[in-house]
Structure 1
Amino acid sequence: MNTLYKKSCLRLLDFCNHDIKYIIDVASFLKNAKKNNKENLYLKNKKIVLIFEKESTRTRCAFEVAAFDQGAHVTYLGPKSTHLGYKESIKDTARVLSKMYHGIQYRGHNHEVIETLAKHSTIPVWNGLTETFHPTQILADLLTMKESLSSKSLSNISCAYVGDTKNNIGLTLLEAASLVGLNLRLVSPIQFWPNAEFFLKCKSKARERNGDIICTESIEEGVKNVDFIYTDVWISMGEPRKQWTDRIKLLQSYQVNSSMLHLTNNKKTKVLHCLPALHDDNTIIGKEIMNNNNLNNGIEITNEIFESNSDIIFKQSENRLHTIKALMVTSLIENFSY
C-alpha cells in the first residue's frame, strides 16, 4: 500500500521516518533506472503546474526534467504570470488549478501561502522553497549522504551545518534530523540559532531515533569528527545591502575553509553546499560583496574547498531531480511499487 498517495509535501515533518526512507529508496531506484535507460513512465499524461513567485535554476529544472522523464506535462507560471493573492485569492487559485492539474509545485516567500494552497487543493502540493522550509533540497541531501557513506545508516551520520542556522536549510535539516536520527550540529553565532521551542522539539524527537542535535558557537566543538560540513549562502536577494554587510561581519569567522576542515580531525570529511555558492568573484553579486567587504577568497566557502568538493556538491544538485521525481511518483500513483 502506497501511504504517500495524494500526500502533499510542505515540510519534512509532514512525514514519518518510514516515509522519508521510502522516498529516498524510490529516488535511488528511479535514479538507477534512468541511468540504465530502463525508466518506466509512471506519470504518463499527468499534468503538473509549477508556480514560481521566487525565481530558481535547480528547482525549476529538476521539476521539469523529472516530469518530462516520466511522460508528464508541465505549465510554468513565473513571478509575474499569475494573479495569485493579488487579483485572485490563494484559496480560489487552489480550487481552479485542482480542476486542471494533478499536482502543484509552489516556490515563493511566505510559508502561509503554500499552507493555504494545500488546504484548498484536492491534489498534492509540493514545496519548492519558502522562507521557512526547503524540503526538496534536504531530501536530495539525505540521498547524497547515503550514497557517499553507504556503509552507514543516516542515524549514524554526523553533519555540521555552519552559518545562518535559522534559515530554511537549517530549519529543514532540524526536521530531517528529528525524523531519521541524523547527528546534527548547528554551528553559528547565537543570534543565528533557530527558535528555542522548535529546536527542543526536534532535539527530543531525534533522541527517539538515538540521534542528537546541538547548537554551538564553537567551530571546534561543532565540526570535530563530523562526516559532513554543510553551508549555504549568507545573503538573500531583496534584502538591504547593509543587512548583507552586517551579517557577513558576524559570520565571517564561520567561513568553510581549510582551517575549519583541519579542526574536524577527520580527513574523510566532505563538504556540502546547496548552491548557488559565492566561492569566487565570477558573479555580479559575488564580486560586489567581496569588493565591499574586503574579501578575496570566497564568502561562505573558499574557492579551494568548493572546488575540492565539487563532485559531491554537484551530486547534491543532480539528486534534486531524483528525489523530486520520487515525490511526484509516490504522491500521484496510488498503486506504485518497485
Structure 2
Amino acid sequence: MRHFLTLKDFTKEEILEIIETGLSIKKNLKAKIYNQELKNQTLAMIFEKSSTRTRVSFEAGMFQLGGHALFLSNRDIHLGRGEPIKDTARVISSMCDMVMIRTFEHSMIEEFAHYSKVPVINGLTDSYHPVQLLADYMTLVEHGMEKNIVAAYVGDGNNMTHSWVMLAAKLGFELRVATPKGYEPDGNILKEALVIAKESGAVIKLMNDPKEALSGATVVITDTWVSMGQEEEKGERLKVFKGFMVDDAMMSLTAENAKFLHCLPAYRGYEVSESVFEKHSEIIFDEAENRLHAQKGLMVWLDRKRG
C-alpha cells in the first residue's frame, strides 16, 4: 500500500506512470467511455482548509470512477473537536477505501497516514501541494512542453514552490526560483531536493531577481502572495512582493512560445497581470481541468498498488 503525501516518496518512473494513467482515463472520458475501476469504493475527503478545485475534482472524479466521495470538514467530525488524529485515522480508514486530506500542518497528514489502513492523499498542506503538480505536469505533456523544460517560479517560497522544487529534482529539469529576500523555500526541503537533483541531473537555482529567473524560461509559474491563513500579513506582503508581478514586460524575457501556469485562484494586478492571465487562459484552465484527470489517475494507481 502506498500513500501520496509528497513527490519525494516517488520515483520518476512512478510519477510518469501516474500521469500516463490519468491521460488514458481522460482520453476515455472524452470518448464517453467511463472507466469504473473504483466501483463501490468510498473516498473520505477531510477539509480543514476550504477549496473549490480540490473538492470538485476529487468528488467528481470518484463519481466518474464508479465510487462515492464523502465531504468532511473539521466542523463535521470529532477531529476538529479534540479527538486524537490517530483515532480518527483508524476509524475512518476502517470504513472507507481511500482518504484525501487538505490541511495546514504537514505533520498532521503524516500522522494520519501512519495510522491509516488505506491510502492517504495530500490534497494540500502548508508544506506541499503534490496533486497540483501532477495536473501541472500533465498539462505540459499535453501541450508538448515536457522536453527541455526551463521553469521559472516567481513569488513566495510556499507549498507550491516546494512541490515544483521536488518535481524538478525527480524529473531532472532546470528550475529557477525567484522570491523576495526572506521568502525563500524551506531550507530543509531544498536540501532534500538538491540531494535528489544530483542523481537526476536537475538544476535548481534560487535568486531574488524575477527578471533573471524568467530570462529564456520555457515555463513560468506563480501563485498567490497571500496564502490561506496569511491574511493578516497581506499589507506587508504586497509591499515586499512589489516588482514580482508577472506582466507582459516580464514575459517578454522568456523563450519564444513560453507558457504561463497558475494553480488558481489568481489575483490580477498582484502576482499576475490581467493581460498575461488572459493571454494564457487556455492552458491555465486546461491545468485546472487536469486536476480532475490527474487525480483520477492517482487514485486508480494507488488502488492498483494495493493488489
Task: Return the TM-score normalized by structure 1.
Answer: 0.87
Stretch deviating more after TM superposition (25-34 or 207-216):
207-216
- Summarize the alignment of residues 96-175 of structure 1 with structure 2, pairs less than 5 Å apart: 96-149=91-144, 152-153=146-147, 156-164=148-156, 166-175=157-166
The answer (yes or no) to whether the contact 2:2–2:305 under 8 Å persists in 1 is no
Closer/same/farther in 2, CA of residues 313 and 59 from structure 1, 3 Å limit: same
Is this contact kept in 2: 1:181–1:207, CA < 8 A?
no
The yes-or-no answer on 1:274 pairing with 2:263 is yes
Counterpart in 2 of 1:299?
Answer: 270
User: Share of identical aligned residues, percent?
Assistant: 38
Q: Is 2:243 the counterpart of 1:259? A: no
1:92-146, CA deviations, whole angstroms, 9 ceiling, x for partnerless residues? 1111112111000100111111111100001000010111110100111111111
Answer whether contact 2:74 2:80 (CA < 8 A) is retained: no
Tell me which amino acid in the other structure corresponds to 1:187: A
| Alpha-carbon distance in 1 for matches of 2:133, 2:47 | 19
Tell me the equivalent position of 2:302: 331
Deviations 1:209-252 (A, max 9, x none): 222010111223211111111000000233353x1111111111
Residues 334 and 9 of structure 1: CA distance in aligned 2, closer, same or farther (over 3 Å): closer
Spell out the pairing of 1:6-17 with structure 2 (5 A cutoff). Answer: 6-17=1-12
Aligned to 2:177: 186
Q: State the distance in 2 between where 1:30 and 1:148 align.
A: 17
Structure 2 counterpart of 1:195: 186
> SS at the partner of 2:246?
coil
Shift of 1:158: 1.2
Question: What secondary structure does 2:79 align onto?
Answer: coil
Deviation at 1:149, TM superposition (A): 2.1
CA distance in structure 2 between the partners assigned to 1:106 and 1:183 by the alignment: 30
d(CA) in 1 for partners of 2:229, 2:185: 22
Aligned length: 307
Question: Do the aligned residues in 2 keep the contact of 1:104 with 1:126 (CA within 8 Å)?
Answer: yes
Provide structure 2 residue ranges, at least 5 long, that are not aligned to the other structure.
none
The CA distance in 1 between the partners of 2:180 and 2:165, in whole Å, is 17
In the alignment, which residue of structure 1 is the partner of 2:207?
216
The 3 A distance-change label for structure 1 pair 215 and 273 is same
Q: Is the 2:222–2:261 Cα contact (8 Å) retained in structure 1? A: yes
Moved over 4 A (4+): none
Cα 1:15–1:303 shift into 2, 3 Å: same
Aligned match of 2:240:
250
Deviations 1:290-335 (A, max 9, x none): xxxxxxxx11101111111100111111110011101111111358
Compute the displacement of 1:89 (Å): 1.0
Aligned equivalent of 1:33:
28
TM-aligned CA deviation for residue 197 of structure 1: 4.0
Deviations 1:137-193 (A, max 9, x none): 01111111111125x43xx211100000x2000011111111111211001122111
How far off its partner does 1:73 sit?
1.1
Distance 1:238 1:197 in 2: 22
3-state SS, counterpart of residue 163 of structure 2: helix
Matched, 1:227 2:218: yes
Q: Which of 86, 91, 95 matches 2:86? A: 91
C-alpha change, 1:334 and 1:235, in structure 2 (3 Å) is closer
Distance 1:335 1:96, change over 3 A: closer
| Structure 2: distance between partners of 1:74 and 1:170 | 29
RMSD: 1.5
AA in 2 matched with 1:201: E
Q: Is the 8 A contact 1:107 1:127 kept in 2?
A: yes
What residue in structure 2 maps to residue 68 of structure 1? 63
Q: How far apart are residue 85 of structure 1 and its match? A: 5.4
Task: Give CA-to-partner distance per residue, 1:71-96, whole Å, 9 cap, x none.
Answer: 00111112311111533211011111
Aligned position for 1:285: none
Deviation, structure 1 residue 203: 2.5
Counterpart code for 1:261: M
Contact 1:103 1:123 in 2 (8 A): yes
For 1:254, the aligned partner's letter is: F
Return the offset for 1:207. 3.3
Structure 1 distance, partners of 2:170, 2:297, is 18
Query: 1:20 matched to which residue of 2?
Result: 15
CA contact (8 A) 1:160 1:184 kept: yes
Partner secondary structure for residue 241 of structure 2 = helix
Cα 1:159–1:13 shift into 2, 3 Å: same
